Amino acid sequence: MRLSVAIVGSGPSGFYAAESLLSAFPDCEIDILERLPTPFGLVRFGVAPDHQSVKRVTEGYEKTVSSGRVHYYGNVEVGRDVTMAELRDCYDAVVLAVGAPRDRPIGIPGEDKRGILGSAAFVGWYNGHPDFANLHPNIDVERAIVVGNGNVALDIARILVLSPNELAATDIAEEAADAITRSKLREVIVLGRRGAAQARFTNPELRAFARLDRGTPCVEGDSLSEHALEGLSEKPRRQAERNLETLRSFAELKEKTATRRITFQFFARPLEVLGGESVTGLRVAQTRLEGSRVVETGAQEDLSCGLIIKAIGYRSPRIPGIPFDAARGRLRNRDGRIAPGLYAVGWAKRGPSGVIGTNKADGKALAEQLRDDMKTQGKPGRKALEARLTARQVRWVTYRDWRLIDEAEIAAGQGDHPRRKFVSVADMLALLDRAQENTT
């Protein structure tokens, strides 16, 4: 009997799962379901638009889906077009690769004011995610604060200060590029509640700030001494040493002519968002470390700003009938197993951690688990899925359809733009309708 597997989600974790399963089960049948017409998830909508080399990872995903044993079903939402129970009835195994697309709240007063956004929403907006096409954030402010000390926080701060020439070489959404170019923004503060040595951003991301056309990085306060490294184990210490060296080097850039400034402010914990209906500032408490604990010193500071972006982590979506680990923001599972025949991979399994390649290990672990677990197989799989979708008149998007969308986006790119993304599902489907009409 042929093993049939449905993978819900078409980001890196979903494709790496498919790749491992193809290797482990030579005659398996794999179907990838994605609620949007477009595949690649985090690579398309999470990777910064000026990191085009990172996006080439999709070339490997192309090989996986071109194997002939993997089918893509875009524009199919589990819960809307087919239920989880139906999927489990149709397939021997269902794999949830839904990522962690929800923002974690800070949990401070004023978090609901206009002008404070989560990084998932903001990054989705400038990356052309259809869910956030109507976000229209006001970035025409003099100062913005990015709360967080990870790579996402650095991505956001960097994108906000890019010059028109730098933006021209990206696939950023057109509205976002126009807004960044027109903005009167003068300063972006990157705020961390711990010190520079405890920051989670990587050194290549940090070094990029020294090469910006119109942004000058600097460090607020004294947090770069050698004492900052005390208590760190070997691997974190090496990363921290590189980061501290880079942050110190920013002092040499003070004479650089630039219209926008990126200020790294450490040891500051957000306390309250200030303002009426809209953000006018952020009150922060100065902090220090006691061992590994962050404690407040008693001193506070009010930072004026017109925009706050939270980049403090993500959460997986809750799925009806699937146990959820609220503390960790992920699907409740035991090393990827949720229930018989039901599995999780990627951020849905581990929580939001690691880089794109980290998901490869989850795919290999999944293949081993299915070898152990699949004592019986032979559910109808793809045939049963298509019968349900057809009966409900669901318009699913094939991988061939996606290639038409892809070609149209690339053709619409101007100058150095690698592509101009569709930001509306309706526009994508309209393109496919026109293509179908032209072939009949």
Is 205 annotated as contributing to ligand binding? yes
How many helices (H) and strands (E) would you count in the chain? Answer: 15, 19
Q: Are 151 and 239 in contact (CB under 8 A)?
A: no
Is 43 annotated as contributing to ligand binding? no
As a 3-state breakdown, the chain gives helix, strand, coil percent values, each rounded to 5, of: 40, 20, 40
Is 278 annotated as contributing to ligand binding? no
Selection from 362, 304, 276 nearest residue 95 by Cα: 362
What is the residue-wise DSSP string for 230-249? Answer: TT--HHHHHHHHHHHHHHHH
Amino acid making up residue 189: I
Is 345 annotated as contributing to ligand binding? no
Is 347 annotated as contributing to ligand binding? yes
Name beta bridge partners: 344.
96
Phi, psi of 208 (to 5 degrees): -60, -25
Task: Render the burial of 338-359: b for 16+ CB within 10 Å, e for the rest.
Answer: beebbbbbbbbbbbbeeebeeb
CA distances from 260 to 76, 127, 249 (A): 43, 22, 18
Is 194 annotated as contributing to ligand binding? yes
Amino acid making up residue 409: E
Cβ neighbours, 10 Å, residue 165: 11
SS3 state of residue 383? helix
Is 147 annotated as contributing to ligand binding? no
What is the residue-wise DSSP string for 183-200? Answer: ----EEEEE-SS-GGG--
Is 42 annotated as contributing to ligand binding? yes
Is 150 annotated as contributing to ligand binding? yes
Is 78 annotated as contributing to ligand binding? yes
Side-by-side strand order, sheet with 307-310:
116-118, 307-310, 143-147, 187-191, 260-265, 215-220
DSSP-H helix ranges across 341-381: 347-350, 359-373
Is 193 annotated as contributing to ligand binding? yes
Find the helix or strand (DSSP H, E) in which 44 lies: helix 42-45
Is 98 annotated as contributing to ligand binding? no
| Tokens 């290990």, located at residue | 361
Is 355 annotated as contributing to ligand binding? yes
Binding-site residues for FAD: 13, 34, 42, 78, 347, 354-356
Binding-site residues for NADP(+): 149-152, 193-194, 205, 354
Binding-site residues: 13, 34, 42, 78, 149-152, 193-194, 205, 347, 354-356
